[in-house]
Amino acid sequence: MAETLKYTAVIVGAGTGGYPCAIRLGQLGVQTLIIEREHWGGVCLNVGCIPSKALITAGKRFEELDDLGKMGISIPEGDRSVDMQKLQEWKQGIVSKLTGGVRTLLKANKADTLVGEATFTGPHSLTVATADGEVRVEAEHLVIATGSRPVEIPGFSFADPRILDSTKALALTELPRRLVVIGGGYIGMEMGQMFRKLGSEVTIVEMQDSILPGFDPDVIKLMNRKLKKSKIPVYTGSRALGWEEGEDGATVRVQTPKGEITLDCDAVLVTVGRRPNSEGLEATGVELDRGFVKIDKQCRTSVPGVYAVGDVAGGAMLAHKATHEGEICAEVIAGHNAFNDARTVPAVVFTDPEIATAGLQEHEARAQGFEVKTGVVPFAAIGRALTTMHTDGFVKTVLDAADDRVLGVTICGPHASDLISEAALAVEMDAEALDIALTIHPHPTLGEALKESAMAALGRAIHVVNR
Pairwise CA distance, residues 189 & 232, whole Å: 10
Q: Starting at the edge strand that comes first in sequence, how are the strands of the sheet with 347-349 ordered?
A: 347-349, 354-359, 406-413, 394-400, 372-378
Determine which helix (DSSP H) or strand (DSSP E) holds 115, and give its type and residue range: strand 112-115
CA of residue 433 relative to chain centroid, distance: 28
- Choosing from 363, 441, 443, 463, the catalytic residue is 443
Whether residue 443 lies in the annotated active site: yes
Alpha-carbon distances of 467 from 200, 361, 446, rounded to whole Å: 42, 19, 22
393: CB partners within 8 A, 6+ apart: 222, 353, 378, 379, 411, 412, 413, 414, 416
Angle of helix 18-27 relative to helix 84-108, nearest 10 degrees, comes to 30
Pairwise CA distance, residues 227 & 80, whole Å: 23
Nearest to 411 by CA among 386, 448, 442: 448
Pairwise CA distance, residues 85 & 92, whole Å: 11
Alpha-carbon distances of 426 from 39, 397, 450, rounded to whole Å: 35, 11, 11
Beta bridge partners of 117: 129
φ, ψ at 376 (rounded to 5°)? -120, 125
Where do runs of H (alpha helix) occur along 127-248?
166-169, 186-198, 217-229
Contact between residue 106 and residue 27 where contact means Cβ atoms under 8 Å apart: no
Pairwise CA distance, residues 299 & 304, whole Å: 11
The sign of the CA dihedral 335, 339, 340, 343 is negative
Q: Which residues are catalytic?
A: 443
